[in-house]
Amino acid sequence: MTRPTRVARVVLGVSGGIAAYKACELLRQLTESGHDVQVVATPAALRFVGAATWAALSGHPVGTDLWDDVHEVPHVRIGQDADLVVVAPATADLLARAAHGLADDLLTATLLTARCPVVLAPAMHTEMWEHPATRANVATLRSRGVHVIEPAVGRLTGADSGAGRLPEPEQIAALCRQVLGGAARGRDLGGRRVVVSAGGTREPLDPVRFLGNRSSGRQGYALAATALARGAEVTLVAANVALPDPPGAEVVRVTTAEEMRRAVLVAAAAADAVVMAAAVADFRPAATSPTKIKKTEADPEPIVLARTPDILAELSAARARPGQVVVGFAAETDDVLAHGAAKLARKGCDLLVVNRVGADAGFESTDNEAVVLGADGSRTDVALGPKEALADVVWDLVVKRLS
């Protein structure tokens, strides 16, 4: 008989910031994902959103006071029983108390007793976020394995704008799901440094036109996010991507294939694994016009193409570190496996993720299916599903080779 999947128990902590109202949407998303969510709010948070709202949305009484239901020892039990604790918003005061191990209210006591993954989503004015004390507290928390999300940049309280805005609830909820998935596997990439490339390069023809492709960067971003959830230190080299940065990743932005080559080689020097998920242009215009090419009555001049650098082959031929694992991607439109096997042999990488792309598959989709070919002759089929699922399969295979 198949056993039912256990519902993940999530504690949603809410501290006293104006962004507390956004946590209502986060709570809705977590419960609709099937998680059992209990809200623990600080007294200051209840000045922004009342306990009745949290109770109605979660289906549970709201934890607010160390002295409520003392016989059940909530200041210990809540943290012990949780599969994930997420605090949104996490104010500068909350970060400071968490970093120093204070437990003078129910939320900080829960953080101190939790042995599950912890996600903190800061929200505060820019000056508070950039203060050396806050930066030191964030560094301390991250050194202990806490996932501290970088705040968004935008409108703050009143007329102020800058860094310190609470990330959108959808982004926080997505990270929570990834962290829970990573926790199920264990932090098997803990202590590892990985590089992921994402997006599609653009090769300029003139100041307004370029040769490019339809890659959205979703698969590369899924690889980065799942690696973070599994404990890795991640450098993400992103080419022309319009997605929110995965919280905790170092993001390097590039445009062309040559810019990507330079950025990836620099980051790969200290990496245990490199995953080239980006769609790197194979060709670039041999000449770039300094001004916009005008439309005339005459036929246009033919565009002469030149090859771009083969980053994957270069990484594979000269490993920056002993035992470094290199993974490539092959987007094909026909004879997918035959072309993939030939590319694997030609590139010299350890793993090659082969998938069919076209108008209805691969690029710009939230789902993917692929076959992962190994240099050792292995083959792993991945059925159509979320790109995060494919990402986890790739990291499973990388972890085996790292160990």
- One of 213, 240, 355, 368 is an active-site residue; which one? 213
H-state helical runs in 186-256: 218-229
The DSSP code sequence of 383-399 is EEEEHHHHHHHHHHHHH
How far is 254 from 355, CA to CA, in rounded Å? 24
3-class state of residue 39 by DSSP: strand
Which distant-in-sequence residues (6+ apart) come within 8 Å of 236 by Cβ?
195, 196, 197, 198, 220, 221, 224, 245, 246, 249, 250, 251, 252
Per-position b or e across 309-338, b if 16+ CB within 10 A of its CB: bbbbbbbbeeebeeebbbbbbbbbeeebee
Prior bond to 74 cis, omega within 30? no
213 is catalytic: yes
189 and 395 Cβ atoms separated by less than 8 Å: yes
Element at 356 (helix H, strand E)? strand 351-356
- Cα-based angle 399, 402, 403 (whole degrees, multiple of 5): 90
167 and 151 Cβ atoms separated by less than 8 Å: yes
How many CB atoms within 10 Å of residue 305?
14
- Cα-based angle 399, 253, 362 (whole degrees, multiple of 5): 60
In one-letter notation, the amino acid at residue 8 is A
How far is 325 from 102, CA to CA, in rounded Å? 42
- Residues forming the active site: 213
